[in-house]
Structure 1
């Protein structure tokens, strides 16, 4: 059979990417819960096997896994709602502190410009009217968002149950998809994917816990009000690579402003967040998650924004593990290996323009680059 020209191959790849993106946008209400359920099922698999070894019926074992998951989610929801309730209880004091900050801001604007207090009030009134109009339009979308979230949470346990129940059937389907000569590579890719998902998601749970405890403890010692709420918000937003930490810093500053009439606590909060983030990025998280598959910063940022634009917040959270899985698949495919190179962090120290060896897709070249960048290659031993 005649091989397709390289231009046709690349055109088909780009067309395939476009079709996948279109499918994700159209069916994200079904696909995103399914993907989340798939990742959670991988993490819950050892728990399922634990109950099965103790002669629990298969349905009951899966039910116990879902029950444990619901207890964890319920605990997180209760903790977060209790912190929000404390914030609502302090609303009169918050309004007073906001007035103090607004008056200080107004005086500063008067000092540095000719913008009088009357003009400032007119400007605030105009912007408030625009904000109210925007809020009324936003409320209509909020109802749809809440209903989508309820559908998401309702489908999640159903998908988890079915994925665990039919896991052997799904594995058989995957093997039948490929020729028998490719089965060793398929098995290796699935084992590596399982390791990546487990290490990533369990690592995120550990990360949420220690960031909340560490940041909340530091802020409580300093005497920052609503310390635990700031810590919880930052811990969850920090799961979104690069973007989440910035939003977490801004929300931490806003919560501190509303809870104190002074500006000094803001410096304490920002310094505490910077310290915790330094420990998280450079010491704790690399040891917990490890370096099984490293995604370069460009691929991670583009993936997060692309996931957010295609599938919303859930797409941003799932972007990195999806990219990591795609890299595992691409690295084992002759046809798509160049995409694995694009996503990976195996950065050559020399330019392929001057070193012809680096233009090759040979596995020995890839292994050499992995050693240079201190990237561990997962395999059967890790599974």
Structure 2
């Protein structure tokens, strides 16, 4: 009887999960701006609190001023990116011609060395390398334009941010009342505090990481003598908002510029190598050191949720995947029913990577120490 009841619970949970995913897909145009507004509200809340407590401003004025400052910064960044893109695109024909000639030379050398026909390499006998470059680079520019203008597309997000911050005490009181049956007020307060800490650690850490990575990228491009070094360096850092994929897209553009403006092909390889090395440092040293989040996600889960959210919501889903999953982990960790899922989402301890032989060696050394003592 208990087994049948347990199976029924599993089926119900699975159906509930499928329904949630289905509703999330159907309501994506409604939910995505709300999630962005919630996360960004957490980011600017310290500014609002400073205006209210230290400067004694009215709540409405404090929230309005904080949102105006934030949107002005975003607008300024978008305008700078647009101006720089316009300058680069004004030279695009020259870049295409130089890259095309170099790629044609490479293809001809490959054909002479290997005996493989150029038609087999580029897919068509009459295709122009210049046209091929234009088609692919247009896709890259469209991707960056879409990812860079995500926040600007959501006109309602600033309004949602204003309302979330204005009604924050009212909404928290609602959560206390809504969860009074399944949890105490103290436990709910603890969960909300942990959710706030997770988002703050993630957001502030991400801003710091992007600044450091932007400086490192720019320094590497300056050493190589690549044009628009600071623009490409910080653009690539900005694309860290899209985990794993952003760094790849961000490195292709300066590599193409290097290919067009430098005599040697090695400059393009140097750009990709430097960006790859900086990405390695960022992922293994900078981000873990700066974020210091109490709730961390393991690499396997991070990659899986990014893929799943990208399938669900596209580029906005890739940006929202990690903060939403980190928040879910806090909720799961504080739920007896879903605590195993919270465990699965978190970082694995060192013991799970140790081999049996290594464990036996540790036990043997421990026994020897006990005998000597």
TM-score using structure 2 length: 0.82
How far is 1:42 from its partner? 1.0
Q: Partners of 2:122 and 2:8 in 1: how far apart?
A: 62
Q: CA shift at 1:218, angstroms?
A: 2.4
Give the secondary structure class of the aligned counterpart of 2:325.
helix
* Structure 1 residues 55-110: Cα deviation after superposition (integer angstroms, max 9, x where no partner): 32221111101111112102211322232133123224312312222221221232
Per the alignment, residue 335 of structure 1 pairs with 337
SS of alignment partner, residue 5 of structure 1: helix
Relative distance call for 1:69 and 1:331 in structure 2 (3 A) is: same
Q: Within the alignment, does 1:193 sit opposite 2:195 as a pair? A: yes
1:323 is paired with a residue whose SS is: helix
* Distance in 1 (alpha carbons) for counterparts of 2:100 and 2:231: 22
The match for 1:211 is: 213
Q: Is the 8 A contact 1:307 1:319 kept in 2?
A: yes
How many Å separate the matches in 1 of 2:261 and 2:34? Answer: 41
Q: What is the CA distance between 1:116 and its match in structure 2?
A: 4.6
| Counterpart secondary structure, 1:270 | helix
Which residue number corresponds to residue 106 of structure 1?
107
* Alpha-carbon distance in structure 2 between the residues aligned to 1:150 and 1:206: 19
Bigger relative CO (Cα 8 Å, ≥ 6 apart): 1
Q: 2:34 matched to which residue of 1?
A: 34
Instruction: Name the structure 1 match of 2:291.
Output: 289
Q: Which runs of 5+ in 1 are unaligned?
A: 355-383
Task: Tell me whether 1:159 sits opposite 2:143 in the alignment.
Answer: no
Cα distance, 1:55–1:7 mapped onto 2, change above 3 Å? same
Specify the alignment match of 1:21 in structure 2: 21
> 3-state DSSP class of the match of 2:335?
coil
| Residues 119, 24 of structure 1: alpha-carbon distance in 2 compared, 3 angstrom cutoff | closer
- Compute the displacement of 1:122 (Å): 8.0
User: Residues 212-267 of structure 1: CA distance to partner in whole angstroms, max 9, x if unpaired?
Assistant: 12211221132112322331332122232333333333444334323334202123
In structure 1, what is the Cα distance between the partners aligned to 2:332 and 2:66?
32
Q: CA separation in 2, counterparts of 1:42 and 1:4?
A: 44
How many residues align structurally? 342
Aligned residues: CA RMSD:
3.2
Tell me which residue corresponds to 1:363: none
